[in-house]
Amino acid sequence: MEKFVIEGGRPLSGTVPIVGAKNAALPILAATVLAQGPILIDNMPHLLDIQVMLDILRSLGVQASHTGTKALIDASNMHTAEITEERMKKMRSSIFLMGPLLARFGEATVYQPGGCAIGERRIDLHLNGLRAMGAVVSESGNKIECRAHKLRGAQINLDFPSVGATENLMMAAVTADGITTITNAAREPEITDLQIFLNRMGAKIMGAGTQTLTIEGVKRLQPCEHRIIPDRIVAGTLMIAAAATRGHITLEGVVPGNLTSLVYVLRRAGVQIGIERDIINIVAYNRPRAVERIVTSPYPSFPTDLQAQLMVLLSLADGGSIIKETVFEERFKHVRELSLMGADIRVDHNCAKIRGVPRLYGATVEATDLRAGAALVIAGLAAVGRTIVQQIHHIDRGYESIETLFTRLGGHMERTISIKQDRLASSM
């Protein structure tokens, strides 16, 4: 097992470009099975989740390569619409393939997906939407079988604006007979990127970024080229890291409009933020101020994927703050780890009450999920002394060589082989 060893206390400084968004790339990779012929996707990040998705595609008979920032996908010779349970368990986003496989083959066999343990993430919305389009869905244990000779347009109202369900149903509907309308749809920027990609393939989709999507089914889709949007969560993580270490960094190649809620919160915390076109400049030389109350909620509200990182900053703030988590019920597992570093946080149901402390101290901690892991890295960079972060495979799912990224900004961080005794020694 690998670990990160971080020597904290150094302000981050420098300029970095932002890589392509994992949460945009994964559904777009799934959508490539809808067309036959070579599809070129640029700005593809090198992440564990991307590797898993490419491996799943190859197991279905898809030719898939990933060199540099470019991925070349050709689904012409796909030979199966069944994904093994072993592969499904490796990644939550494997469920994205259910809609496209059903649209192309008239059938799909998948299993309940795996992923980070951050709370219940049922796929009822996915299945109910497919049923509304005429699919027959049968479930036996973890196995899910979907069949439909031809999907048909339908009126679908989502009980919750689920990103995954919105994307899955979009992909299923693009070649259905008639018009599909999805109301209470997710509005995330990644939805818009998927719409752009599908429309380049010949789909007819309108409404991404709003609560209502309209998809007019077409007979077939064609190969195309596409560039993935920059990762707003990676950008947000770096912005918070700059503030927590009292540094000064510049991010290039971002979409500032996708980070409005974070910019608002950071400015309330006293962080100076300058924005010009696709560049964000972050300056934070002073101790941050507390922010009375932040509530995570679907886009465009404050993202749950930045909640853990922000908690680190507020742990160092002057005063008391409250974060209310409304998306995932088990997304406070990082609180225990931050407490080992000296943070003063109390959890009451879905609210974390944070009392800022002057400084955090290095400790041996464990990444319990992707974003919690990123938060612990930020805490280590800001802390006094040495921090060891274990279970870093979670972090590799969503951050491309995060140790290289922070070292480039002046942080002292390296990846080494983990020894089980680390955590035991830290607790003695």
Q: Would the pLDDT of 400 be above 70?
A: yes
Q: Same domain for 399 and 350?
A: yes
Query: Which of residues 209, 227, 245 is at a domain's end?
Result: 227
Q: Based on the residue annotation, tell me whether 116 is a catalytic residue of this protein.
A: yes
User: Is 423 in the same domain as 308?
Assistant: yes
Q: Are residues 184 and 280 part of one domain?
A: no
For residue 239, give its domain range.
2-19+230-427
The verdict on 42 and 10 lying in the same domain is no
Q: What is the pLDDT of residues 317-340, one digit of tens each?
A: 999 999 999 987 788 999 999 999
Listed in sequence order, the DSSP H helices in 203-360 are: 232-244, 260-268, 307-315, 334-340
Contacts of 271 (CB under 8 A, 6+ apart): 239, 242, 243, 282, 283, 284, 288
More confident position, 236 or 331: 236
* Residue where a domain terminates, one of 227, 258, 282: 227
| 419: CATH | 3.65.10.10
205 & 267 share domain: no
For residues 68 and 158, state if they share a domain: yes
Total domains, the chain:
2
Same domain, 381 and 408: yes
Instruction: Quick: pLDDT tens for 107-157.
Output: 999 988 865 444 445 789 999 999 999 999 999 988 999 999 899 999 999
- Give the global pTM: 0.94
Q: Is the domain of 179 the same as that of 260?
A: no
Domain boundary among the residues 187, 210, 227 is at 227
For residues 198 and 250, state if they share a domain. Answer: no
Beta strands in 89-240 (DSSP E): 107-111, 136-140, 143-147, 155-157, 179-183, 204-206, 212-216, 225-227
Which residue out of 116, 146, 224, 351 is catalytically annotated? 116
Same domain? For 238 and 223 the reply is no
Tell whether 316 and 383 lie within a shared domain: yes
What average pLDDT does the chain have?
Answer: 94
How wide is the angle at C-alpha 90 spanned by C-alphas 336 and 92, nearest 5°? 75
Verify that 276 and 365 share a domain, yes or no. yes
Could you please report the per-residue DSSP string of 79-124? ---B--HHHHTT-GGGGGGHHHHHHHHSEEEEE------SS----H
Local confidence band at 428 (pLDDT 50, 70, 90 cut-offs): very low
